[in-house]
Structures are given as structure tokens and as C-alpha cells.
Amino acid sequence: MTALRAALGIVLALALAQSAQAHRFAPSLFKVTEIADQQYSVVWKTPAQGTSATPLRPLWPESCEITTSSPPQMEGTGKVSSWQMRCAKLGEDGLVGETLGIEGLSANQASAMVMVSLLDGRNYQQVLNAEQAEFVIPAESSAGDVMTDYSLLGMEHIWGGLDHLLFVFGLLLLVGGGTRLLWTITAFTLGHSITLSLVTLGFFDYPVALVEFVIALSIFVLAVELTRASKHDILWRNPWWLAGGFGLLHGMGFAGALAETGLPQDNVPLALLFFNVGIEIGQLAFILVVFGIWFLLRKPLASWQDRLLPIPIYVLGALSAMWCIERGLAVLA
């Protein structure tokens, strides 16, 4: 167990070398809604802070003309622009068969969701990224596209969210392997699945800044609990209560991420289900990677394990404390 924790400390250090602060999932959204014959309403939502000097920019057919536009507005951590355009030269099928795209995805190593809603009730969605920066609107939508796209979004979210991964990492430190890990991760999954579903389906709302603060606090509490291993209190003996309870909070964070992207109105349950499936796949992949690295490092680190043991706990505590301060100030602002 001590060797596992020591090796996990190295894994955490490698992860932190890539990112010094929690990434809040903020994919760009390019939403096109047909409001009348040959007329479309467009919403473009993108993170206010980019990762490259190359800006992200939506692309649409050259024959479409912008008729009205509104100045960009700040919404949370994103910038939202909206306008209306007329596409009189596209013919009877309108945008069907035409190409929409996002410029700058490769330079920013970013992804974006394109959503199209037509007057006849057809809805389309497509995740665009550096490998696929364009989307040709098909004649019919596909449930398979929804399953694939939202699974990818779920995986991207869990892998891009350092705070969520650090909580899972802390659970690994707390329980090690075996059936305790199985029950603990299951409890975390059930917890975040419940609130993800309830918030996304509109059963209740919550203050985003406060939830972000409490998510950081959950990591800090977990780090404190790790320092109390020798006491074997009720949370140490039953870690699934800790994982399930804080999983409810993390689910609200996942729901906020999904709200930023949006859901296809004709396939809400399917999109919600496979976004959650993507989160679970990403979570399990992270656990497998961590254990794989531990398997490779456990023998070389055997003589260093006592010295390395405190490192992951201190890093968890320090980072979570920093996020608590940062997000606590955001709550008070």
C-alpha cells in the first residue's frame, strides 16, 4: 500500500507538470436555429481565454448574409455572440447538405459542438476538433452520432478537469485496490450520476460559483482524511460515504459543463446517458493508467517509498487549498 502511494505521488507530479490549475470544461458551441424560411438565428459561445493567439471562429456557407448582430456578452467564463443570417441562395433544402465549421481548433487544441435545429423538427449535433473541423449537415439525424459525440464530450471533460481527476486520485490513495476501490468508485459514480441527471433535466438549479468552491473543498477534505490514516475512523473504514456524498457535488459540476454545450432536444435522454458513459470511460481509463504506472514504478521506488509517501497528500492539500481561496473569492465577488 505504501509503495502504491509513493508511485502515485510520481504520477501526480507528472500530471501537475502539464497543468497548474483546474481546467473548467468549456467547449465552444456553434448553434444554428432556423427561425423562418431561409432565415437562421446563430449563437456562438467560446471561452473568454484562449490557449493560442489564433482565435476560434465559426464558418458557414459564403452565400449566407448576416442581417442583424448583437455585441458579444460575457457569460460565466465564456463570451457569447449572436446574430441572424439569411441564406436565400441555398435552395429549398436550406442548410441541409451545406458545411459548417470552426476555424482555429487545431491551433488551440480545442473542441466545439455544432448544433443545428430546423423548422421541420430535425436536430443535428456534431463534435468538431483538430482532426475534423467541418460538419456537413445530413438529411437525417442519427442516434449513433449522439451516442458517439456525447461519449467523447464526457471523456474530454473528465480528462480535462484536473480537479475531478484529483478527487479520483485521492480516492485511490485512500482505499488502494481490491473491493474497497470497487465500492468507492461505484459510490462516486452513483453520486455524480444522480445530480448530473437531475440538474440537466431541470429539476433544480444551483449557484455555480458555490459548487465550484465546494468541489475544491471536497479535495481538501479528502487530503485531510488521508493524513488521518492511522486513526481508522468511520470515513476511513467506509470511504464510499465520502465518495458518494462528494460525488453529488461533482455531478453538479458535470451538469454545468453539459449546460455549456447544450443537449439535442430530440435526444435529451440519450445524450445525457452517453455523456455520463463517457465520463465513466474516462474515469476508468485514468484509474487503469495510474495502476499501470504504479506497476512499472513499484520496484524502482521500493527504497524511496517512505520519503515519497507524503508528497501526493501534501500536493492534494496545497492545490485544493489554493482552489478554495480562488473560488471562495469568486463566490464573494
Query: Does pTM top 0.85 for this prediction?
Result: no
How much is the pLDDT for 84? 94
Instruction: Give me the amino acid identity at 204.
Output: F
* pLDDT of 214 above 70: yes
Q: What is the mean pLDDT of the chain?
A: 81
- Residue 119: CB atoms within 10 A of its CB come to 12
DSSP 232: -
Render pLDDT for 228-287 as a digit per residue (tens, 0 to 9): 755 556 667 778 888 898 889 888 888 877 776 667 766 778 888 888 888 889 888 998
Going by their DSSP bridges, the two strands 28-36 and 134-136 should be labelled as: unpaired
* pLDDT of 59 above 80: yes
pLDDT band for position 19 (50/70/90)?
very low
Overall average pLDDT of the 173-191 stretch? 85
C-alpha cell at 117: 435545429
Lowest-confidence segment of 12-21, 28-37, 203-212, 313-322 by average pLDDT: 12-21
Lowest-confidence segment of 26-40, 70-84, 223-237 by average pLDDT: 223-237
What is the C-alpha to C-alpha distance for residues 106 and 129, in angstroms, rounded to an integer?
7
* pLDDT of 40 above 90: yes
Residue 84 Rama label (left phi>0; alpha psi -120 to 50; beta): beta
**Residues ≥6 apart with Cβ < 8 Å to 249:** 195, 211, 214, 215, 218
Nearest to 250 by CA among 192, 323, 190: 192
**Residues ≥6 apart with Cβ < 8 Å to 92:** none
Residue 217 vs residue 53, higher pLDDT: 217
- Which helix (DSSP H) or strand (DSSP E) does residue 183 occupy? helix 178-200
40, 45, 236, 326 from 83: Cα distances, Å: 9, 12, 54, 35
Between helices 162-175 and 268-297, what is the axis angle to 10°? 50
Residue 169, CB half-sphere, CA atoms under 13 Å: how many?
Answer: 33
Let me know: does 188 contact 166? Beta carbons within 8 Å.
no
pLDDT band for position 305 (50/70/90)?
low
Residue 64, CB half-sphere, CA atoms under 13 Å: how many?
Answer: 24
pLDDT band for position 30 (50/70/90)?
very high
